[in-house]
């Protein structure tokens, strides 16, 4: 990273800490459920078992209808020390494996819980914020490593890191921090280690982690196809390694099904959509009327250019904070759109060249299939939310959030750049990083202002 980029990275990291402080506990997407699941992982439980009753006090403290939270309210509940006995863990997030929660659990165990699992001074409030900070540090380190490995995409990666929605989902309790980290590592693998015989195995293990959280990420297994094509010579020189790499493509599916069969979670009494959501009926309807998929595509395309943050609006890709309800000033969105364009062009005209891969029709076909696998994630999200979150028979899709698009957009942006950037430019450009930094930090300022106003306006 250049000096400007290092400053940019550091300031975004500080903004992330400010976001952590400004966003009240459990006010990000699904944090209530992930909080309980996080604690069961901290207790060493593969499946959800029990948590301390005091942890549910945190849920009750913030489960109120008031829009604003006062400092006095926060201070009162920060001092709660009634940790209680172990009680059954009830959470919709208990369907997720423990691996995505490990970065946050590390911070919780080292600095928030004693060796018996009891919260230290500050109680579960301290544990909660340590989990957020642990996630943010984890994603930040992975992104800094990715920039170092892929200098030809440094500005694009830094803009991604600066997006308010990415900042929130990188620290929020949940599975997104691990999903971001896995996606960034996959990008490093396919661009920096394409000829390593073990690269497909490592890639498919990462895909397995992602697919065990959201099965639609099984599609990312196709990204490993170019790696196998790159080393097709192994079938002559080291057939055992070639066979092992080929068999690794079954890992994501096998691990996903193994985890799915091992889940023992009672979801009785947990929140479920109050509208007419019946997945079996919705699937039957789509099978009977496959033309509905075309209607859904048209409706989703139209919703992309509207302002509803839970129907796939482009605004939600950049900033839909809290429970996808907090918008920032339109100036912030415009600045981020400009930053994305300038960053991509700046990287393309940078003196760094992307690593040249093998040529030939087989390689080109493999990369085309990989790109289609990434792109297919977006319609898979739409269909999935239609089946599991939308009323039976409706023409639109409810529950589509821009954060679901972030990973495929990032991967396609780098894939396209890599395909075009075959040479370096003799003269280094210096305009992209400062312009993008100013635009992104200004947008982050607007987002932080919106958070503070929404949650602490009456403090």
Instruction: Determine whether 45 is exposed, middle or buried from the number of CB atoms within 10 Å of its CB (0-12, 13-18, 19+).
Output: middle
pLDDT at 423: 54
Average pLDDT over residues 375-404: 87
CA dist list (Å): 111 to 39, 106, 125, 445: 14, 8, 12, 30
pLDDT at 43: 85
DSSP string, 376-400: THHHHHHHHHHHHHS-TT-SS--SB
Percent composition of the chain: helix, strand, coil (DSSP 3-state, to 5) = 70, 0, 30
User: Is the pLDDT score of 95 beyond 50?
Assistant: yes
**Which range (46-55, 112-121, 179-188) has the least confidence?**
112-121
User: For residue 141, what are the contacts with CB-CB under 8 A and spacing of at least 6?
Assistant: none
Model pTM score: 0.91
- Longest distance between any two alpha carbons in the chain, whole Å: 71
Average pLDDT over residues 268-279: 73
Q: How confident is the model at residue 353 (pLDDT cuts 50, 70, 90)?
A: low
Residues 328 and 453 sit within 8 Å (Cβ to Cβ): no
Q: How far apart are CA 401 and CA 387, in angstroms?
A: 15
> Cα-atom radius of gyration of the chain, to the nearest Å?
23
User: Is the pLDDT score of 292 beyond 80?
Assistant: yes
CA dist list (Å): 9 to 145, 147, 253, 328, 428: 12, 10, 36, 22, 20
**Which range (114-118, 205-209, 405-409) has the least confidence?**
114-118
Residues 399 and 310 sit within 8 Å (Cβ to Cβ): yes
pLDDT at 66: 47
pLDDT at 70: 62
% pLDDT > 90, the chain: 39
Question: What's the token pair of residue 435?
Answer: 């312009």
Average pLDDT over residues 227-244: 84
pLDDT at 313: 87
User: For residue 160, what are the contacts with CB-CB under 8 A and spacing of at least 6?
Assistant: 143, 166, 406, 410
Q: How far apart are CA 167 and CA 104, in angstroms?
A: 15
Digit-coded pLDDT (tens) for 204-216: 999 999 999 999 9
pLDDT at 140: 97
Which residue's structure tokens are 């590592």?
Answer: 185
pLDDT at 116: 67
**Which range (120-124, 205-209, 259-263) has the least confidence?**
120-124
Q: How far apart are CA 28 and CA 169, in angstroms?
A: 8
Q: What is the mean pLDDT of the chain?
A: 85
pLDDT at 373: 94
Q: How confident is the model at residue 310 (pLDDT cuts 50, 70, 90)?
A: confident
User: For residue 315, what are the contacts with CB-CB under 8 A and spacing of at least 6?
Assistant: 307, 309, 327, 333, 402
6 vs 124: which has the higher pLDDT: 6
Residues 152 and 188 sit within 8 Å (Cβ to Cβ): no
271 vs 324: which has the higher pLDDT: 324
DSSP string, 145-214: HHHHH-GGGHHHHHHHHH-HHHHHHHHSSSSHHHHHHHHHHHHHHHHH-TT-TTHHHHHHHHHHHHHHH-
pLDDT at 450: 93
Q: How confident is the model at residue 160 (pLDDT cuts 50, 70, 90)?
A: very high
User: Is the pLDDT score of 67 beyond 50?
Assistant: no
């Amino acid at each position: 990273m250049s000096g400007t980029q290092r400053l940019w990275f550091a300031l975004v990291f500080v903004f992330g800490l400010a976001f952590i402080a400004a966003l009240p506990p459990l006010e990000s997407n699904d944090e209530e459920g992930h909080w309980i699941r996080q604690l069961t992982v901290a207790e060493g439980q593969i499946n959800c078992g029990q948590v301390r009753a005091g942890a549910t006090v945190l849920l009750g403290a913030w489960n109120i209808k008031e829009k604003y939270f006062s400092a006095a309210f926060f201070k009162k509940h920060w001092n709660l020390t009634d940790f209680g006995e172990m009680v059954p863990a009830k959470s919709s997030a208990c369907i997720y494996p423990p691996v995505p929660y490990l970065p946050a659990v590390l911070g919780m165990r080292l600095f928030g819980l004693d060796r018996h699992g009891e919260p230290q001074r500050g109680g579960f409030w301290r544990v909660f914020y340590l989990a957020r900070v642990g996630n943010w540090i984890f994603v930040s380190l992975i992104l800094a490593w990715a920039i170092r490995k892929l200098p030809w995409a440094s500005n694009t990666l830094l803009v991604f890191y600066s997006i308010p929605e990415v900042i929130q989902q990188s620290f929020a309790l949940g599975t997104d921090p691990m999903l971001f980290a896995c996606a960034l590592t996959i990008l490093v693998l396919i661009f920096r280690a394409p000829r390593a015989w073990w690269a497909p195995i490592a890639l498919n293990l990462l895909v397995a982690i992602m697919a065990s959280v959201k099965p639609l990420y099984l599609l990312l297994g196709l990204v490993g196809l170019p790696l196998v094509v790159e080393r097709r010579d192994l079938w002559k020189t080291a057939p055992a390694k070639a066979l092992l790499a080929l068999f690794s493509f079954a890992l994501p599916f096998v691990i996903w099904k193994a985890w799915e069969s091992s889940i023992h979670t009672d979801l009785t009494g947990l929140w479920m959509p109050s509208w007419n959501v019946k997945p079996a009926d919705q699937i039957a309807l789509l099978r009977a009327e496959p033309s509905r998929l075309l209607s859904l595509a048209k409706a989703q395309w139209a919703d992309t250019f509207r302002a509803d943050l839970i129907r796939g609006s482009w605004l939600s890709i950049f900033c839909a904070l809290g429970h996808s309800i907090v918008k920032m000033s339109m100036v912030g969105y415009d600045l981020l759109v400009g930053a994305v364009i300038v960053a991509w062009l700046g990287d393309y005209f940078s003196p760094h060249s992307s690593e040249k891969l093998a040529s030939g029709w087989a390689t080109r076909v493999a990369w085309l299939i990989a790109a289609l696998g990434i792109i297919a994630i977006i319609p898979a999200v739409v269909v999935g939310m239609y089946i599991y979150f939308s009323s039976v028979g409706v023409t639109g899709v409810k529950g589509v959030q821009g954060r679901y698009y972030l990973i495929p957009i990032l991967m396609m942006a780098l894939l396209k750049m890599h395909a075009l950037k075959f040479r370096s430019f003799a003269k280094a450009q210096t305009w992209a990083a400062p312009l993008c930094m100013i635009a992104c930090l200004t947008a982050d300022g607007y987002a932080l202002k919106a958070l503070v106003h929404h949650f602490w306006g009456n403090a």
